[in-house]
Amino acid sequence: MKTYHLLIPAIFMAACSPKIPQSGRAEKRFSLEDKTVSIITTAENTSLRLSPAGSLTFKDSPQPLETQVAVFVDPNHTFQSITGIGAALTDASAEVFAKLSKEKQQEFLTAYYDKEKGIGYTLARTNINSCDFSSGSYTYVAEGDKDLKTFSIDHDKQFKIPFIKAATQAAGGKLTLFVSPWSPPAWMKTNNSMLKGGKLKPEFNQTWANYYVKFIKAYEAEGVPVWGLSVQNEPMATQTWESCIFTAEEERDFIKSYLGPTLHKQGLGSKKLIAWDHNRDLIYQRASTILNDPEAAKYVWGIGFHWYETWTGAGMNFENLKRVHEAFPDKNLIFTEGCVEKFRLDQVDEWRLGERYGTSLLNDFNSGTTAWTDWNILLDEKGGPNHVGNFCFAPVHADLPNDKLIYTNSYYYLGHFSKFIQPGAKRIISSASRDMLQTTAFLNPDGKVVVIVLNLSDDKIPYQLWISGKAAETSSLPHSITTLIF
């Protein structure tokens, strides 16, 4: 089992800043004059982990031949803006972090949040009430307190809030945070349990809407700004852990009659409200039911989604994201959770972990996604803690008995996106002439172009990076991900 310590040198990049409109064509055409391409690579069976791998220069290139492999990039057409990339700061992550030595805590914070030495996370999620990645079930109110007079977040002050504050400080003082409930308190539900599904009792619709407001205001009073919230984590899944079922119609009606109006009345109308927060398989049905209703849609910032539709044996369904983006282009798509399940310590070096992340990130962004949030940012050497035994992989695990951090290759694959794509970046066209290469690209606010090339094959693939009649020759290593910056 390998343990990697990340020391990534800063990439020297150009500082030109063309003004870019919200969508469509760039107002200033992109020039390749005097541009040098910096290459950053992670590859299987090599020592390359987010490693500088040389530079390229552009040369005049006529019409490419059909026999040549090329990645075509066009910075003159821009699409969705990127809000950020990050991970969930759960109870489990906070508890594991607290058990690390001060030295390892600092290493962890640098690795995830430092923009030069780490991978520069800017986005975060946390749980309202307990979730499976908590040491036990809990809420913030006493049994039966419909008026929420006993509401208190004292539970979160021990581990979670200090952890979020440490991450925010490491990120430079700003971290875009959204919050999600897994279940209301048991007494508000039809099954009288926070676990195993059940539904919110209709008589508690307003109480539950007030609960979100109490939570957000309590966090902000503790110095933790909240950017947004989702209505319900995985509202179609009856889990052995905290869960609560909403049909599309029930979620729509709760948003338009209770949660949306309550947020506005309480001065929280600017918070970004995220619907669905579940898998890609039903995302169009869910989005259309909610967003085709103007009274619900006016409160909704975007549609959240996870990647676990694969539990059926199917693949990740990126086409469904495209359908939502086509039908509702004024709403945002946000990836709110994903992890590799069924943790085993002897599998932390398997290359499939990172390739799952690379595939999802690249295709989610190409399908119109504006923000991407991993699940637990940190877990222990058992894949927990988790109070129902649902142990999972994280990009970084703490080997607590030995006070070490284990970096899986998922961490590096994520870094190929989060380190180089700045908040406010716009996706641009990147198109490969062979399906062995997958690609996406972005134009950052500071004028840098970021091109990402993913190779899931066993072959080394020579190709040219081609832009407006100029090309730079390079190769993609087997089972690799490369970020090209100019």
269's CB contacts (< 8 A; 6+ apart) are: 263
Q: What pLDDT, on a 0 to 100 scale, did the predictor assign at position 34?
A: 78
- Known catalytic membership, residue 27: no
Q: Are residues 350 and 303 in the same domain?
A: yes
Q: What is the pLDDT of residues 280-300, one digit of tens each?
A: 999 999 999 999 999 999 999
Q: What pLDDT, on a 0 to 100 scale, did the predictor assign at position 9?
A: 35
CA 470 – CA 486 distance, rounded (Å): 14
Q: Are 444 and 352 in contact (CB under 8 A)?
A: no
**Which whole-number Å values give the CA distances from 21 to 75, 80, 81, 146, 368, in the listed order?**
12, 11, 10, 48, 17
Q: In this structure, is residue 76 part of a structural domain?
A: yes
Q: In this structure, is residue 403 part of a structural domain?
A: yes
Q: In this structure, is residue 16 part of a structural domain?
A: no
Q: In this structure, is residue 287 part of a structural domain?
A: yes
Q: Are residues 297 and 198 in the same domain?
A: yes
Q: In this structure, is residue 1 part of a structural domain?
A: no
Q: What angle do CA 82, 417, 445 make, to 5 degrees?
A: 45
Q: Are residues 328 and 475 in the same domain?
A: no
Q: Are 351 and 413 in contact (CB under 8 A)?
A: no
Least confident interval from 1-10, 49-58, 92-101: 1-10
Q: What pLDDT, on a 0 to 100 scale, did the predictor assign at position 25?
A: 62
What are the phi and psi torsion angles at 345 (to 5°)?
Answer: -60, -30
Q: What is the pLDDT of residues 410-453, one digit of tens each?
A: 999 999 999 999 999 999 999 999 999 999 999 999 999 999 99
Q: Are residues 439 and 296 in the same domain?
A: no
Mean pLDDT of 137-147: 98
Q: What is the pLDDT of residues 261-272, one digit of tens each?
A: 999 999 999 999
Q: What is the pLDDT of residues 333-342, one digit of tens each?
A: 999 999 999 9
Looking up tokens 């390079």 gives 474
pLDDT tops 60 at residue 232: yes
Q: Are residues 364 and 379 in the same domain?
A: yes
Q: Are residues 393 and 354 in the same domain?
A: yes
CA 297 – CA 252 distance, rounded (Å): 8
Confidence of residue 12 (pLDDT cuts 50, 70, 90): very low
CA 479 – CA 315 distance, rounded (Å): 19
Closest CA to 439 of 470, 412, 476, 408: 476
Pairing status of strand 272-279 against strand 302-306: parallel
CA 19 – CA 39 distance, rounded (Å): 26
Task: Give the whole-number percent of the chain exceeding pLDDT 70.
Answer: 94
3-class secondary structure, 157: helix
Closest CA to 73 of 468, 455, 411, 420: 468
Q: In this structure, is residue 187 part of a structural domain?
A: yes
Structure tokens that stand for 187 in this block: 């007494």
Q: Are 337 and 390 in contact (CB under 8 A)?
A: no
Query: Of 95, 234, 251, 309, which residue is the catalytic one?
Result: 234
Q: What is the pLDDT of residues 92-127, one digit of tens each?
A: 999 999 999 999 999 999 999 999 999 999 999 999
Domain, as residue range, for 346: 84-423
Task: Please give the distance of CA 444 from its chain centroid, rounded to a whole number.
Answer: 18
Q: Which helix (H) or strand (E) holds 357?
A: helix 352-366
- Known catalytic membership, residue 350: no
Q: Are residues 418 and 433 in the same domain?
A: no
Rounded CA Rg of the chain: 22
Pairing status of strand 24-25 against strand 70-81: antiparallel
Q: Are residues 220 and 269 in the same domain?
A: yes
Mean pLDDT of 362-376: 98
Q: Are residues 44 and 135 in the same domain?
A: no
What's the CATH number where 65 sits? 2.60.40.1180
Q: Are residues 315 and 394 in the same domain?
A: yes
CA 90 – CA 132 distance, rounded (Å): 10
Q: What pLDDT, on a 0 to 100 scale, did the predictor assign at position 11?
A: 33
**Which whole-number Å values give the CA distances from 82 to 163, 177, 310, 368, 423, in the listed order?**
25, 15, 26, 10, 5
Task: Give the whole-number percent of the chain exceeding pLDDT 90.
Answer: 93
Structure tokens that stand for 108 in this block: 């962890």
Query: Of 107, 309, 337, 355, which residue is the catalytic one?
Result: 337
User: How much is the mean pLDDT over the chain?
Assistant: 94
What's the CATH number where 406 sits? 3.20.20.80
Q: In this structure, is residue 410 part of a structural domain?
A: yes
The total of other beta-carbon atoms located within 10 Å of residue 318's CB is 18
Q: What pLDDT, on a 0 to 100 scale, did the predictor assign at position 7?
A: 38
Q: What pLDDT, on a 0 to 100 scale, did the predictor assign at position 18?
A: 33
Q: Are residues 195 and 245 in the same domain?
A: yes
Q: Which of 423, 447, 470 is the last residue of a domain?
A: 423
Q: Which helix (H) or strand (E) holds 71?
A: strand 70-81
Q: What is the pLDDT of residues 157-212, one digit of tens each?
A: 999 999 999 999 999 999 999 999 999 999 999 999 999 999 999 999 999 999 99
Q: Which of 423, 446, 474 is the last residue of a domain?
A: 423
Confidence of residue 5 (pLDDT cuts 50, 70, 90): very low
Confidence of residue 33 (pLDDT cuts 50, 70, 90): confident
pLDDT tops 60 at residue 310: yes
What's the N-to-C CA distance of the chain in angstroms? 35
pLDDT tops 90 at residue 251: yes
C-alpha torsion sign, points 381, 386, 388, 392: negative
Confidence of residue 27 (pLDDT cuts 50, 70, 90): low
CA 412 – CA 42 distance, rounded (Å): 7
Q: What pLDDT, on a 0 to 100 scale, did the predictor assign at position 35?
A: 86
Q: Are residues 235 and 335 in the same domain?
A: yes
Q: In this structure, is residue 31 part of a structural domain?
A: no
CA 366 – CA 387 distance, rounded (Å): 36
Q: Which of 372, 407, 423 is the last residue of a domain?
A: 423
3-class secondary structure, 451: strand
Number of domains in the chain: 2
Confidence of residue 22 (pLDDT cuts 50, 70, 90): very low
Q: What pLDDT, on a 0 to 100 scale, did the predictor assign at position 6?
A: 42
